[in-house]
Every structure is written in C-alpha cells, then in structure tokens.
Amino acid sequence: MEPPKPLPLPKTITSRIIKTRSLKTHILEAGAPNPTSNQKTRPLILLLHGFPELSFSWRRVLPLLAEQGYHAVAPDQRGFGRTTGWETATEDLHAFSATALVRDIVLLVFALGYTSVRCVVGHDCGAVTAAMCGVARPDLFRSVVLLSHPFGGMLGSGDVRDVGDGDGGAGAGKEDVHSALRARGRKHYKWYYSTPSASEDMLHGSGPEGGGGLHGFLRGYFHLKSGRWSGNRPRVLAGWCADELVQMPYYYVMPVDATMPEAVELHMREETEDGLRASREWLSDEELAVYVEEFRRTGFQGALNWYRVRTAEGGRYTWDTEVFAGRKIDVPCSFVSGKLDWGIYQEPGALEKMKDGTVCGDFREMVLLDGVGHWAPQESPKEVAQAVLRLVDSL
C-alpha cells in the first residue's frame, strides 16, 4: 500500500495515529486539551463518517465545535483511509460486525484518555455505528446525533425479518423485494456493494465517457447525492416494496446490469457544467482529490465490508446485535439531514419511529436543511455544528 500524502487541512486541525488493542486509528482533531495549560480536559465529541467518506469529511465541522470548548475527534473508521490493523480480517467479516465497530470506538475513547463522551455523531453508515454506541453503552455515550440514516430500532421479541429484505425488513410472507426489483430491471445498491466485483468496478471508475476513471466517478457520486443535483426530489416511501423503491435514483436502486460507476454515468450524461460548478462550491477539486487518492491507495473493499456484513444470508454476521433486542436509544438524541437527501427515506418508517418515541426514549430535535442533500457535514457544516451544540449544551 502506498504511503499517504499530507492532507490539506486548516491549521486548527491536527492528524495523528492512536494505537488501541483493535486498530491503529487515524484521527483528525480540533480543540485537544493542552496539558501545559490550566484547562487539562475538554468534553469529547466524536464524529463518525459514512461511505465513501473519511475523517476528512468533518474538516469544516471540527473547528466549529472546538471553538465552543469541545475536543472534537473524527476517526477514519475500520476499513477506511489511514486506519490500519484490520486488513488481515478482510475475509473474517465478524471483525466488521456492529458490536466490533462499537468496540473500535470504545477503545479509541479510552485511548484518548476519556471515560465519557459528550456526544457521538454519525453520518450515513457512521450513523448506524453511532446509534449502536447509544444503544450498547449509554453509560459512556451521553448523547447521539444521527445524520442521513435514521435509526429504525433493534430487532424486538417476535419480530421476524428476512435478512434478504434488508434494513426495511418486509418479513415472512411478503414480497421478495429483490426478485421484484429484478423483474423491473433494477437492483438495490447495498447488495451490489456486497458483490466481489464492486471494489474493482469503482476503482476503475466510469471510463472516458464518464469523465475520467475514479475521479470522474467520485465527482459524479458526490454531486448526484448532494443538494446541487436538480434530480433529487425525495419523498416518503409507503413501504419496503419494489413499486416504491424504483422511485429512487440510480445511485440507490440501480439498473440491474450496471456497475455503480455506470449507474452514476447514466444520470451524469445530462448534467450541465453549471450544475457541477455548484458542487465544487462545497467540494473543490483539491478536496475531491483527497478521496480519489485515498481510495486509489487503499481500494474500497475494507469500506464495502460494512455492507457485506449487513446483507449476508441468514444473519451470519448480525446475530451479535440480538442481545439488544427491543432496546431504544435512551440517551438524548437528535436527527439532522438535508431536505434533498433520499437517504432519510430509504428505510420506510424509520424517521417516524424516531420522532414518535418508538425507538428513541429522549428524542430532542429533527433538523431538515433547505437545499442540502446527503452530505450535510460538508454542504452545510455550520448548521450541522449548531445542531450538535444545541444538544450537547442542553445536557
């Protein structure tokens, strides 16, 4: 693996490696306590990125939290970026189970010298881990903020779900969603991400017609899921069924024979340069190059293992969460996303269960940001930081 290049970071953010029993974790941090000053401790806020992202995705949020007196830390999670020590576990996917990912975060907290976390914030698949932190260790994680991926709850007593039905869990006797999608010429992205070819597909990108390999693919992927793409018009889905799922863009419910770069290219063919220019306002070419260089260096497979775990047949790698059956997030919790983010609706009913108290015992606030898509920490960092601060300052 190639050595990483220096990251283009503001002076207020530092980069270092923290060694724990599970990983050598790369973190970005702002507001770290100065042991030579009178203030030797600051409350800790952890920021967990999604896919295909990195700790770098929090570069605009970290300083805003530090300015208000917090030690803000964003790790590259297992399988991503500059964090190492997971590579030999690529085929033993138990190392990527939900409780293993929580263990990584718990060990990081103690390695940083803390015994309490004021808030754990998670975006996209990082929200899955953040929610699990709140469920499994409410004594350690005092509050939770989720972005883009609502918490749908833990499996409850007598709650039968087909693993093949995914997060929405249609359950026994209902539509075989994947067969029904195939009949409509579509497939779900999570199951594509679990295929052996997905990493190589994305590394090679969309080819010359799609704007230049990996760079062209990632530019298109980030753009299409942002608030700058005019094709994003999300709505509540009536249920986890093919007739509803096919309403989603190709980056979620793909053409059945397409790779993800090909699916992205189909939407991007009609995009204008003006549309792309708007995306460069929140993700410059220099910033995009960080993602291109990191994923070119590491590949996507470690990150894609998160999806392989959740879609494996028979719940082979998800049984560990059954010990928490029926548990809620009982610590204070908020939800933040863009109004133009399809991600908040891809698990039908989850958002409503957070709001009505079904899965959150102390739900404080829902913030849906105008003009913002899936990448709220990058598209609208000030508003994200304000939402986190409103929650933690109320504790």
Supply the pLDDT for residue 87: 85
In a domain, 310, yes or no: no
144 lies in the same domain as 199: no
Paired tokens of 151: 């918490």
51 lies in the same domain as 134: yes
Contact 189, 335 (CB under 8 A): no
The secondary element (H helix, E strand) that includes residue 363 is: strand 363-369
Domain count of the fold of the chain: 2
How far is the C-alpha of 266 from the C-alpha of 74, rounded, in Å? 34
In a domain, 296, yes or no: no
352 lies in the same domain as 271: no
17 lies in the same domain as 125: yes
153 lies in the same domain as 180: no
CA end-to-end span of the chain = 44
339 lies in the same domain as 205: no
In a domain, 306, yes or no: no
In a domain, 308, yes or no: no
274 lies in the same domain as 375: no
More confidently predicted of 392 and 174: 392
The residue written with tokens 């958002």 in the block is: 351
In a domain, 206, yes or no: yes
Residue 116 sits in which domain range? 13-157+317-394
In a domain, 169, yes or no: no
Specify the CATH number for the domain of residue 51.
3.40.50.1820
Q: At how many degrees (to 10) do helices 213-224 and 273-280 cross?
A: 80
188 lies in the same domain as 321: no
Supply the pLDDT for residue 273: 85
In a domain, 303, yes or no: no
Supply the pLDDT for residue 267: 95
In a domain, 298, yes or no: no
Mean pLDDT computed over every residue of the chain? 91
Q: What are phi and psi of 147, to 5 degrees?
A: -125, 130
How far is the C-alpha of 113 from the C-alpha of 110, rounded, in Å? 5
128 lies in the same domain as 18: yes
153 lies in the same domain as 179: no
Q: Which pTM does this prediction carry?
A: 0.94
pLDDT above 80 (res 49): yes
* φ/ψ bin of 209: left (φ > 0), alpha (ψ from -120 to 50), beta (otherwise): alpha
| Mean pLDDT, residues 239-255 taken together | 96
342 lies in the same domain as 380: yes
Domain boundary among the residues 283, 303, 336 is at: 283
pLDDT above 60 (res 172): no
Supply the pLDDT for residue 315: 82
17 lies in the same domain as 152: yes
